Chain A
């Protein structure tokens, strides 16, 4: 009982209180960033707000910012076409990949394929754009010049959103309780029957949430589309027409934009922000329901 005699000093709880305030400071900083973003985007747009009513973004003749024409529609449709096309391709491919990893592949191959997909999810967008520029465009060019086109944008975007789609779908599929599948097997259903009838409906919410997130990613993608889409401001009349997306527009013109032109670019950034926020909020809602 040696230490009975010690004057054992207790550590008072003020370290805890001090710690709490330090942590609070960090958290407030983190939460303020979003507020700051909205604030500063609006601030940059504000001077032009009085002069240019938002309706003009859709009713002006065309996009000639140096001549005070600010029709954003071609860029909006460019973004929409490219993203929708990419989703149309990536969703079936992604789900098929996820099904392969979850149900059709022997364990070793499933692991290898998953590593491959994870590796590809980490490839930067510039590298995808670069590959598209050097390899894909010449191929499309041979078919019909110029190579830079909506098609190229769709293909590159598909490649970019495919890995995350496959991975989120895989997580949704494996989250389906085994009991469902056992019950279906016992009823004599075949493998595809079980998947189509039981697993996919059960995993539907998670897959849709993943799809919405991928859509958000496709809409917000800048560099890759910038490099392969051709960047002509026009409504696409065919798959092989060059287009410009909202994101590419900002990236290209910000360098030399001044005054009102600049303000309009900031507002197109706001538009993008709200669009992506809507998509991710929807995905978040679905995801929350899915995980109860």
Chain B
């Protein structure tokens, strides 16, 4: 287990270490249970998603070429790179949202829980319960705050009102919204501020108790204060959830991510591909590929 700290002097920590006392183990995974805590938490480099040779095309135009990487349990993996290099498309393949995007074709495999998610036998709705997604622009449903969370819960079989209320309170507390909205759960969700709406969307995704959270530039549509609140929330969520986050903000990636995947788009054919993947520290401080070095130093992209 690797203890993630912000101190870059620990660059020579080997990958595998004994779990420090204080982390609870449940079935071999180490998560912190109960209310979110600040401070140290655990992260095992155990791949929970394995992407092999994933390619994506829109119609006849190829958008993404042969991506192979692993997403590690409990960690935050940041997808960085200039716009148009397929990061968002890649993210959409993980929960098979590409199924409903017209003209989109995906080749390759993604293994989640040892099963290829593109298999015919894969239950997509169950998959999307386990892999939640938050979009760039906050999209709460035009319903009340309570119903925003209740609707997907009911869809997935939770029908007891009491249960729904318990879950709603839990996730709203987790995202830090409870104190702000506990007295107006019936108010329309669209009456919340941008940052609150985005946190509500995160709460809504958390209500289904996913293992993995996909986030497509969750802070970019928010003002700086709201952005920092959401970013703070994301880093507190890691350890309990596996997070894959697309971000344009290199400083943000550096602050919160454990792993980084750097995407780039070829000049002529405009096809995106994965250039380098590794520990966030390594990507930023000792990148292997010259493109990576140029991008993270701000010289290109």
Contact = CB atoms under 8 A, between A and B. Distances in A.
- Asked if chains A and B are in direct contact (CB within 8 A), the reply is yes
Interface of A: 1-4, 6, 8-13
B163 A10 contact: no
B126 A3 contact: no
Interface string B126-147: 1001000000000000000000
A147 B157 CA distance: 73
Given A8-B156, A11-B125, 11 more contacts: A1-B209, A4-B209, A6-B158, A8-B157, A8-B158, A10-B125, A10-B126, A10-B129, A10-B156, A11-B156, A12-B125
Contact of B125 (A3, A4, A13): A13
B8 interface: no
B163 A13 contact: no
Contacts of A13: 124-125
B123 interface: yes
The A contact surface, by secondary structure, is loop
25 contacts: A1-B33, A1-B209, A2-B166, A3-B158, A3-B163, A3-B167, A3-B209, A4-B209, A6-B157, A6-B158, A8-B156, A9-B157, A10-B123, A10-B125, A10-B126, A10-B129, A10-B156, A10-B157, A11-B125, A11-B155, A11-B157, A12-B123, A12-B125, A13-B124, A13-B125
A9 B157 CA distance: 6
Contacts of A4: 209
Contacts of B156: 8, 10-11
Contacts of A3: 158, 163, 167, 209
Nearest to B166: A2
A151 B163 CA distance: 75
Nearest to B153: A3
A2 B160 CA distance: 12
Contacts of B166: 2
A257 B22 CA distance: 97
Contacts of B158: 3, 6, 8
